[in-house]
Chains A and B, each alone.
Chain A
Amino acid sequence: MRAVAACLALVALGAHAGELPFTRTESREPCARYDPLRQPFFGDTHVHTAFSFDAWGQGTLAAPRDAYRFARGEAIGIQPYDADGRARAQIQLRRPLDFAAVTDHSDLLGETQICQNPALPGYGSLVCRVVRRFPKLGYALVNGYVYSSEHPTRYSFCGEDGAGCRDAGRGPWREIQDAAEAYYDRSAACRLTTFVGYEWTGMPAGDNLHRNVIFRNAVAQAYPTTYIETPTPEGLWRALESECLGARNGCDVLAIPHNSNVSNGRMFTATRSDGAPLTADDARERARLETLVEVTQHKGDSECRAGAQDELCNYEKLTMARMMDMAGTGPAAPLPPNIYVREALGLGLVLGQQLGANPFRLGLIGSTDTHLAAPGMVDEDQFRGHAAGTVSVRWGVPPYPDRPDFNPGGLAVLWAEENSRDALFEAMRRREAYGTSGPRITVRLFGGWTYPDDLCGDAAFAAKGYAGGVPMGGDLPPAPGGAGAPKLAVWALRDPGGSGAPSAPLQRIQIVKGWAEHGESRERVYDVAGDPASGGDLDLATCTPAPGADQLCRVWTDPDFDAAAPAFYYARVVEIPSCRWNTWACNAHHVDCASPDSVPRELATCCDARVPRSIQERAWTSPIWYTPRQP
């Protein structure tokens, strides 16, 4: 029997072994679970460990290998640690991830090692002494000194030209790669895919320009690019071109910007860092290297601007425009334009008309930005905090685990044939990806011109979706003769939950359309499936969700289509209201706001009426673009 099964498996594998739709760049077994119509894989591409200065400064001792153990479902220890270095708290994912990338900060990689290791020169330096004696002060001083300076430099203990710190960083960079290799499942089981990566941490004047750099396979840069030595995004892209893509050694790479919401409008601009206008070549280079953007994570939602035009944009919003302002207590400054992804997508259409190339062809994903080495820990009732912000976790996660405006972050979802590096990386490159705010919602989105209205009931939905158009992340093909407006086929399935994970049904699907008109971008949101009024009866005491839909589907035709206007369309799938993390935390500690004297000081925020107690979790697909034919 076992032999028959093995033969059948070999036949099945053989059926796709010779005709892979993606390029295999590494040596590995094909995955037993293979689907030419692609499957959704859930992961996290933004993970920090003790190799990141800000994580270590907050007491995190878990290393990249711990992060990968956590991603595949094992328990790991977190702070606080006892005198012997044993963790006194444990965390564990309810549902393992399919993929993960440790992305420690490339900046301060060596400095972190030097300040920890008495054997390294520089351990006794003034800065390292201050860091060890006053960790939180050291965190504020060193992070600010390096990351938020317009002209970053290395500390004097790094030696001539910073060579000492770069040398000290080679060890952790090697270990990051070795850990990714050790935990990458190259067997046919394909349990976990890991990616080598790092975070370029540029934050000039406190304006966030961070990028996560993800390598396709085991071939990576000899040393990760740093903001200190390479202080502009253009410099980062040049480095990736020359040290990876142009190295002709099999290296391939993408950069994923995040937290445009605290970039002060500098993440998405029509100019280069030196103020010169973007050229078509600039736009093409950026679009080639930056195919995805992280739309949600611990430090807020970056999708769209809260306001009257789209009430669902008022979701996990930070009120400050600069990363540096997070530490402040003063009134929030007005938010500048182009700090949100939807605005960037619109600006991209306008620039595309002007330049002939759209620099902001961005697919959407979510991730966490965990500094506890805890990828994918996104369940609202399990939130343990960002662990690198203004709330200290050195002595253990407090009962109210973070600032009220932070959140557990989200997940990246990739549609790929199998769970391998090449298949997933190509999904990232073609933007067949979406983000969720945490739940494992499944979403398909196809764009075409001739989808039948009854496609939703068709068992061959995906096959016909691919055959008749393009999936999320693609460009609408030219309209066939006689075609009117584009049709979008969107299907969503609720998070099934399981393993104790809270889950809620769906409320509705929306299509978000943006288009360019007279040199300006416009946007409109359409409810296309579901009932916006459903789910209003959330019980905050028990966090039991109200009824909703298990799945939703619709073939939608754009009623306002203008064939002369370039446009993008993406789907937003919204759950019914469910408890936000603070409600879970406050309920767990039996906070009774009716008797304020009984509320412990560390849980006082539980009774702050300004903090929302429920949310509508969601998924955002990558857009599908429409470009008018040239006359």
Chain B
Amino acid sequence: MSARSTGWLLFAVFALAVPFPALGPFGGFVPAVHHVALFAATLAVAVVEGTAGPVLQILALFAVHALATLALCALAAWLGARALKPLSPRARAAIAGALCAALLAAAIAFPLYETPFGRQPTANLFGVFG
């Protein structure tokens, strides 16, 4: 596995599974991808129905969260890939794969997330996206 591929893999798993706090009035801990989903849903409503009321403020809030959490994931993935770069491709793939598998397993096994916009107060990975 190339260093670049390792970085992308780590980025994808971090974005999918690492819980980030939702600041502002709503609260919660959700993955970056969920922040992106909230932004996308709000953007879609804004495009279809307009921006009356607090839609723009909510959109801005989610945009900041989505960008900030994706940036943190990217930074962490870049640092991880850089740390693994001296290793052989096989070792790099094994360590990155193990790290991702452990993270995903924890995200599935435990209710790591608080989902203020979802249907349950706490959830595992499936609950966040289910």
Contact = CB atoms under 8 A, between A and B. Distances in A.
B23 to A, nearest CB: 9
Secondary structure dominating the interface of B: loop
B14 to A, nearest CB: 23
A327 interface: yes
Contact of B116 (A130, A147, A155, A392): A392
A540 to B, nearest CB: 29
Contacts of A91: none
Given A126-B44, A126-B45, A130-B45, A136 B54 contact: no
Interface string B15-37: 00000000011100000000000
Nearest to A144: B53
Contacts of B58: 137, 140-141, 144
A582 B102 CA distance: 42
A328 B42 CA distance: 19
B97 interface: no
Contacts of A327: 25, 54
A90 interface: no
Contacts of A206: 54
Contact of A126 (B48, B53, B116, B121): B48
Contact of A153 (B41, B52, B54, B116): B52
A144 B55 contact: yes
Interface in A525-561: none
A395 B55 contact: no
Interface string B45-59: 100111011110010
A329 B26 CA distance: 10
Nearest to A156: B49
B53 A134 contact: no
A148 B118 contact: no
B49 A155 contact: yes
Nearest to A137: B117
Given A146-B53, A390-B25, A134 B118 contact: yes
A127 interface: yes
B54 A140 contact: yes
A149 B44 CA distance: 19
Contacts of B121: 392, 394-395
A120 B54 CA distance: 27
Interface in B100-130: 116-121
A136 B24 CA distance: 14
A324 interface: yes
A152 interface: yes
A127 B46 CA distance: 10
Contact of A141 (B42, B119, B120): B42
A153 B25 CA distance: 25
Nearest to B37: A134
Given A134-B41, A395-B121, A329 B24 contact: yes
B77 to A, nearest CB: 27
A451 B100 CA distance: 85
A394 B45 CA distance: 23
Given A127-B45, A328-B25, A148 B38 contact: no
Contacts of A151: 52
A116 to B, nearest CB: 15
Contacts of B53: 141, 143-149
A134 B22 CA distance: 15
A135 interface: yes
Nearest to B116: A136
Interface string A116-129: 00000000001100
A372 to B, nearest CB: 18
A396 to B, nearest CB: 8
Nearest to B52: A149
20 contacts: A127-B45, A130-B42, A130-B45, A134-B117, A135-B117, A135-B118, A136-B116, A137-B41, A141-B53, A141-B58, A143-B53, A144-B54, A145-B52, A148-B53, A149-B53, A153-B50, A155-B49, A156-B48, A327-B25, A329-B24
Interface of A: 126-127, 130, 133-137, 140-141, 143-149, 151-153, 155-156, 206, 324, 327-329, 390, 392, 394-395
Interface of B: 24-26, 38, 41-42, 44-45, 48-50, 52-55, 58, 116-121
Given A126-B48, A144-B58, A149-B52, 7 more contacts: A130-B44, A133-B41, A137-B41, A141-B55, A143-B53, A145-B52, A145-B55
Chain A to chain B: the 6 pairs with minimum beta-carbon distance, closest first? A144-B53, A134-B117, A144-B54, A149-B52, A327-B25, A145-B53
